[in-house]
Amino acid sequence: MSKSTGNFMTLIEAVERFSADGMRLTLADAGDSIEDANFDEKNAEAQLLRLYTFIQWAKEIVAMSSSHTTNQSDAQESTDGNKSKNYFDRVFQSEINRSIKLTQEAYDNMLYKEVLKHGFFQLQKSRDNYRELCSETEQLNIPLLKHFIEIQALILSSICPHICDYVYQLLYPNKSIMEAKWPVAGEIDQSLIDSCEYLLDTVHDFRTRSKKFKDHNKATIYVAANYPQWQTFIINELKNIYQE
């Protein structure tokens, strides 16, 4: 957007078109470098749609919840490491904790594009992966999803305060997000996150390969318990070099 070519919007026009939070989100994503920030109208429209989609999805999850309590006991239960969590629940929880940590670091360094990268885009992607892996509704951990909604609202509230406060009150009616504390990141199991990323990459590879075959009713997946001998040798040598 260039003022010299007459391509500009006043603040009032921009807020009326994209809303205050939509503007703040777009400006935060415009860049942290020393170069001039670029306000892209198409990007602003996309950001506004993301916020709207998040609100609608949050409403659906709250409606699905069997408990309508206004305290934080159900969300806390989902973060206390209860034994009912499956593999995908634990991966998602670790990714939430990682986002809290990385977003806090980005805020501390006033890198707001990085804030959105870790605290919104990547976190939303983690949620989408979790939903895909838990394709059936009954497999979804609703308390964990409500915890995700709370964390998403909290870490994005500095940039989109109005929408985040609205979403927060879906979970806790008559309570303002302005009175809430910044979330504390729990344990981050990087090995779990890495294993899930490998799984998703492998599934993507399977789907890509399957398109090359017309008739494919089944497939056989071979899983190696150990690395081949030559790979084990290389790994051990690299490990020794690293430790030296």
Report pLDDT digits (tens) over 176-197: 999 999 999 999 999 999 999 9
pLDDT in tens, 92-106: 999 999 999 999 999
Mean pLDDT of 30-48: 79
Task: Using alpha carbons, select from 84, 6, 19 the residue that is nearest to residue 47.
Answer: 19
Tokens of 21: 């939070």
Domain locations in the chain as residue ranges = 71-193
Tokens of 145: 């999803």
Provide long-range contacts, Cβ within 8 A and 24+ apart, for 80-85. 85/141, 85/144
Tokens of 97: 């904790």
pLDDT in tens, 47-75: 899 999 999 999 999 998 855 444 445 54
Q: Select 71-193's CATH number: 1.10.730.10, 3.30.2130.30, 1.10.10.10, 1.10.443.10.
A: 1.10.730.10
Task: Using alpha carbons, select from 88, 109, 143, 13 the residue that is nearest to residue 151.
Answer: 143
pLDDT in tens, 204-213: 888 888 878 7
Could you tell me the pLDDT band of residue 32, with boundaries at 50, 70 and 90?
confident
Tokens of 100: 């809290």
Share of the chain above pLDDT 90, in %: 54
pLDDT of residue 7: 63
Distances (CA, A) of 10 to 6, 22, 77, 136: 12, 15, 47, 47
Q: Which phi and psi angles does 37 have, rounded to 5°? A: -70, 140
Residue type, 229: Q
pLDDT of residue 139: 79
Are 113 and 103 contacting, i.e. CB atoms less than 8 angstroms apart? Answer: no
Please tell me the distance from the alpha carbon of residue 179 to that of residue 171, in angstroms, as a whole number.
14
pLDDT in tens, 126-163: 999 999 888 754 578 999 999 999 999 999 999 999 99
Tokens of 59: 């409403």
pTM, entire model? 0.80
pLDDT of residue 71: 42
**Which one has a higher pLDDT value, 223 or 79?**
223
Mean pLDDT of 218-228: 84
Task: Using alpha carbons, select from 112, 116, 86 the residue that is nearest to residue 99.
Answer: 116
What's the whole-number average pLDDT of the chain? 85
- Residues composing the chain: 244
Q: 39: which DSSP letter?
A: -
